[in-house]
A and B are shown apart, each in its own frame.
Chain A
């Protein structure tokens, strides 16, 4: 069994530094890894990234993240990534990593993802160049996630995104904004590999639990949804028996 801690949408800036740290100090006793589901900052500045590094760096467990839409706001993604990587946080975007945990090899593939909507109620690759560009972004992101998931050789496979792969975990959000909160293509990507768990954030008014059409469990770990510093999932009981 592998113990996964996860949270998203922590939106750090100077005014939040220190709020999560007492709970994070407990992680080495209760988790093998911490996964962050994007929107680490408010505006995606290098200064805010330093707050994230201070709060989530040097925790005693590996920390893996994807970025969210807020982390792109100020067009400083390379600087943000560097600040995070300098404290040992792994930033995934269309790629993956395998960690050797006590319970087995954990593979995590991650991508920010994008909106687009869900089957039958989604944007189409048709019409104006702006609409085509929107849908191409959706598809490219999902394709990158699928390829990364299928590439990983591990005992337990987890998908990490900011945008949602299913509508289930958006329940509580206005239906009208679902196309801005996720897309079915991410779910398709997750179902194209033997994924055990999919984690996402972004939907602050959504709900915790859902499943993809292929039966993969999905959890919305946005901080306002879980209402605690992080959630912990024990996954892969079968690893203890093999």
Chain B
């Protein structure tokens, strides 16, 4: 039986809320982060443009969901020049 006052929300709704927050929170505004529910909590993965943004995401999610264990696998996209060219004859 679910839906009793005080029950934690089902994981799927938590995932949805985190995804919305990541996209809509002006301090985050990331649409490229995926939230996946694993046995030991939620995993966030994807890539962002700076280490600052990664920290910001984790901070905002932890503030909003202090009881949900979160693992981060968010990378910072590399910006080196290309080593190869694609020939399109």
9-residue interface stretch from A16-24, A58-66, A107-115, A159-167: A16-24
> Is B50 close to A, CB under 8 A?
yes
Q: Do A204 and B78 contact each other (CB < 8 Å), given the known contacts A15-B53, A16-B49, A233-B88?
A: no
Q: How far is the CB of A16 from chain B (nearest CB, A)?
A: 5
Contact for A231 among B46, B82, B87, CB less than 8 A: B82
Contact for B26 among A15, A43, A232, A233, CB less than 8 A: A43
Do B46 and A205 have beta carbons less than 8 Å apart?
A: yes
Do B88 and A234 have beta carbons less than 8 Å apart?
A: yes
Q: How far is the CB of B58 from chain A (nearest CB, A)?
A: 15
Bound together, the chains give a CA A224 to CA B74 distance in angstroms of 11
> From A223, which residue of chain B is reached at the shortest CB distance?
B77
Bound together, the chains give a CA A73 to CA B30 distance in angstroms of 12
> From B28, which residue of chain A is reached at the shortest CB distance?
A42
Residues of A within 8 A of B71 (CB): none
Contact for A20 among B26, B79, B87, CB less than 8 A: B79
**Interface bits A199-240 vs B (CB < 8 Å: 1, else 0):** 000001100000000000101000110111111111101100
Residues of B within 8 A of A238 (CB): 89
Q: How far is the CB of A137 from chain B (nearest CB, A)?
A: 19
Do B88 and A204 have beta carbons less than 8 Å apart?
A: no
> Is B7 close to A, CB under 8 A?
no
Do B29 and A224 have beta carbons less than 8 Å apart?
A: no
Q: How far is the CB of B19 from chain A (nearest CB, A)?
A: 11
Bound together, the chains give a CA A232 to CA B86 distance in angstroms of 6
Q: Do A224 and B88 contact each other (CB < 8 Å), given the known contacts A19-B49, A19-B50, A229-B79?
A: no
Do A234 and B49 have beta carbons less than 8 Å apart?
A: no
Bound together, the chains give a CA A200 to CA B53 distance in angstroms of 24
Do A15 and B52 have beta carbons less than 8 Å apart?
A: yes
**Interface bits B31-44 vs A (CB < 8 Å: 1, else 0):** 11010000000000
Residues of B within 8 A of A204 (CB): 31-32, 46-47
> Is B1 close to A, CB under 8 A?
no
Do B78 and A227 have beta carbons less than 8 Å apart?
A: yes
Residues of B within 8 A of A10 (CB): 49
Do A233 and B86 have beta carbons less than 8 Å apart?
A: yes
Contact for B34 among A12, A205, A232, A235, CB less than 8 A: A205
Do B50 and A15 have beta carbons less than 8 Å apart?
A: yes
Residues of B within 8 A of A217 (CB): 88
Q: How far is the CB of B36 from chain A (nearest CB, A)?
A: 11
> Is B81 close to A, CB under 8 A?
yes
> From A238, which residue of chain B is reached at the shortest CB distance?
B89
What are 15 A-B pairs with beta-carbon distances under 8 A?
A11-B49, A15-B52, A16-B49, A20-B79, A26-B81, A197-B88, A204-B31, A205-B34, A223-B77, A228-B81, A229-B82, A230-B82, A231-B82, A233-B85, A238-B89
| Inter-chain pairs besides A224-B47, A228-B78, 10 sampled, C-beta below 8 Å | A9-B32, A16-B50, A23-B79, A219-B86, A226-B82, A228-B83, A229-B79, A231-B82, A232-B86, A234-B88
